[in-house]
Amino acid sequence: MPITPFHFGPGLLFAAVAPGYVSWTIFAFANVLIDLEPIALYFLTGDPAHPWLHTPPGAVAVAVATALLGRRPCEAFLRWWNRQFSPAQARWLAVDPAITATQAWCGAFVGTLSHILLDGIMHVDVRPLWPLLAANPMQGAIDIDALYLVCVAAGCAGAVVLVVLAVRRI
Ligand SMILES: [Zn+2]
């Protein structure tokens, strides 16, 4: 997708329903890393293409790199996030800054694999089944506006779950 944050919606839902398994921060970080590919190619060639990282092997490589290298920066970001709040605000908005290995690995893999699935629906040059299939049979499977709506709806559902969990915790 041209706008990476749309991917964050499904990530919020994954993290809300399986917080012990998926770190949203790692999920988001993996999505940003994989989209460095079209961003870099846009600046280098003028074409925001998806030739390598937006394939299953590429997505796995980004997920492994994210899980191995992204944990500490994401934990540092979460500690910074927590410092922004007063004690009263922190009751609602502070998060556990520790990311377990399970949360890192699952968050990274769910992040990059869901990314190429969603991008595969949107972009003709994404190859979500390569090397089994060079073509992209998923492109246009659903309308682009519907795809955005699904991502936003997933994010809203995840936010509702998180609010409910926060209310029960307080
Ligand atoms: Zn992408």
Both tokens of residue 36?
């460095």
Confidence of residue 48 (pLDDT cuts 50, 70, 90): very high
pLDDT tens, residue by residue, 151-165 = 999 999 999 999 898
CA dist., res. 111 & res. 32, Å (int) = 10
CA dist., res. 111 & res. 106, Å (int) = 8
Q: Indicate whether 72 pLDDT > 70.
A: yes
pLDDT tens, residue by residue, 121-159 = 999 999 999 999 999 999 989 999 999 999 999 999 999
Centre of ligand 1 to C-alpha 91, Å, is: 35
CA dist., res. 166 & res. 119, Å (int) = 32
Burial bucket for residue 148 (CB in 10 Å: 0-12, 13-18, 19+): middle
Centre of ligand 1 to C-alpha 126, Å, is: 8
Angle 94-100-102 (CA atoms, 0-180°, nearest 5)? 130
- Domain total in the chain: 1
Question: Mean per-residue pLDDT for 91-100?
Answer: 92
Percentages helix, strand, coil for the chain (3-state, rounded to 5) are 70, 0, 30
Centre of ligand 1 to C-alpha 32, Å, is: 8
pLDDT of residue 14: 95
Domain span at residue 70 reads 5-169
CB 93 within 8 A of CB 9: no
Both tokens of residue 42?
């846009």
6 or 67: which leads in pLDDT: 67
Centre of ligand 1 to C-alpha 158, Å, is: 21
pLDDT tens, residue by residue, 11-22 = 999 999 999 999
pLDDT of residue 3: 58
Angle 151-10-63 (CA atoms, 0-180°, nearest 5)? 125
CA dist., res. 142 & res. 138, Å (int) = 9
